[in-house]
């Protein structure tokens, strides 16, 4: 594998580690066609390269990933339903690729995580979070649900955590994310985050490719079982929600920065 730079995903290789950096801060690293293609290409190349021991998934800008880039699809002439279906397929492909690949994927994040960003970190094997991270699952406020990303979140989160944050849409920090089972370790400074990553990678570099692959398979068995059982159901559920009148009202309110009609806080002082 050689170093390569694409428009929105930068790939670097050093000491057996591939780093894939999401670099589309203008749209908060939303999962548009180019970014998805860049990630899938980088993950596939890392899987096939015997000299690569692990992948680090990171980002430029203040947001790790804000989810699917529906605006890109809509501008291409797709309907809302087709755009959401396309985003759903891309998200499932990315999550499955990360979970199935025989090499560890470490997400190093220091920014906001929303929507499909949860799918990426939920699929990752190790998640290291810096002081600028915030997390919020706000789908219910839009008339939607975290349907597809639940495939990798429900096996990771405690039942009480998913029961609260899927429903409330609250914003929480890295320390809370650790307690919930979403994040492996939180760090107080960016320097600590970098040092923490090097500690993890030092251990991975000492491990054999066969040992890493077999060990990862043990830890991802439940997640893959969830995929086999529920991926199609969750995709259909997502499509149904996106095509509903309630979701249309929620998305319209979000894009116009107004309150949706069901928001009862509008009448509170």
Whether 63 is in a domain gets the answer: yes
Whether 12 is in a domain gets the answer: yes
Whether 227 is in a domain gets the answer: no
Q: How many CB atoms lie within 10 A of CB 205?
A: 12
User: Which residue, 151, 146, 149, is CA-closest to 164?
Assistant: 146
Q: Which pLDDT does position 267 carry in this prediction?
A: 59
Quick one: what percent of the chain has pLDDT higher than 90? 75
How far is it, in rounded angstroms, from Cα 163 to Cα 165?
Answer: 6
Q: What is the pLDDT of residues 212-243, one digit of tens each?
A: 999 999 999 999 998 888 999 999 999 999 88
Whether 124 is in a domain gets the answer: yes
Collapsed DSSP state (helix, strand, coil) of residue 114: strand
Whether 249 is in a domain gets the answer: no
Q: What is the pLDDT of residues 90-106, one digit of tens each?
A: 899 999 999 999 999 99
Q: Which domain holds residue 32?
A: 4-190
Q: Which pLDDT does position 75 carry in this prediction?
A: 64
Domain total for the chain? Answer: 1
Write the secondary structure of 55-91 as one string of H (helix), E (strand) and C (coil): EEEEECCCEEECCECHHHHHHCCCCHHHHHHHHHHHH
Residue 6: pLDDT over 80: no
If you ran DSSP here, which 8-state letter would residue 53 be given? Answer: -
Whether 163 is in a domain gets the answer: yes
Q: How far is CA 35 from the centre of its chain?
A: 13
Whether 169 is in a domain gets the answer: yes
The CATH number assigned to the domain holding 146 equals 3.90.226.10
Phi and psi (nearest 5°) for 65?
A: -165, 135
Whether 9 is in a domain gets the answer: yes
């Amino acid at each position: 594998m050689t170093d390569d730079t694409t428009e929105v995903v930068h790939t670097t290789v050093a000491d057996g580690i591939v780093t894939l950096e999401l670099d589309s801060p203008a749209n908060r690293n939303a999962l548009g066609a180019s970014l998805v293609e860049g990630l899938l290409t980088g993950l596939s190349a890392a899987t096939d390269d015997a000299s690569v021991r692990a992948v680090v998934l990171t980002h430029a800008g203040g947001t790790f990933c804000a989810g699917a880039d529906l605006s890109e699809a809509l501008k291409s002439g797709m309907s809302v339903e087709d755009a959401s279906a396309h985003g759903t397929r891309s998200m499932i492909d990315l999550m499955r690729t990360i979970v199935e690949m025989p090499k560890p994927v470490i997400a190093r994040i220091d920014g906001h995580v929303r929507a499909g960003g949860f799918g990426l970190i939920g699929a990752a094997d190790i998640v290291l979070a810096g002081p600028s991270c915030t997390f919020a699952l706000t789908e219910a406020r839009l008339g939607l649900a975290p349907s597809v990303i639940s495939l990798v979140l429900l096996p990771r989160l405690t039942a009480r955590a998913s029961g609260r944050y899927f429903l409330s849409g609250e914003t929480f920090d890295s320390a809370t994310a650790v307690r919930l089972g979403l994040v492996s370790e939180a760090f107080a400074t960016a320097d600590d985050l970098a040092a923490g990553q090097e500690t993890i990678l030092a251990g991975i570099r000492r491990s054999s490719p066969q040992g890493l692959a077999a060990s990862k398979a043990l830890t991802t068995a439940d997640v893959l079982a969830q995929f086999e059982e529920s991926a199609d159901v969750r995709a259909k559920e997502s499509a149904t929600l996106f095509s509903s009148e309630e979701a249309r009202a929620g998305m319209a309110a979000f894009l116009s920065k107004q309150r949706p009609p069901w928001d009862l806080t509008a009448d509170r002082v």
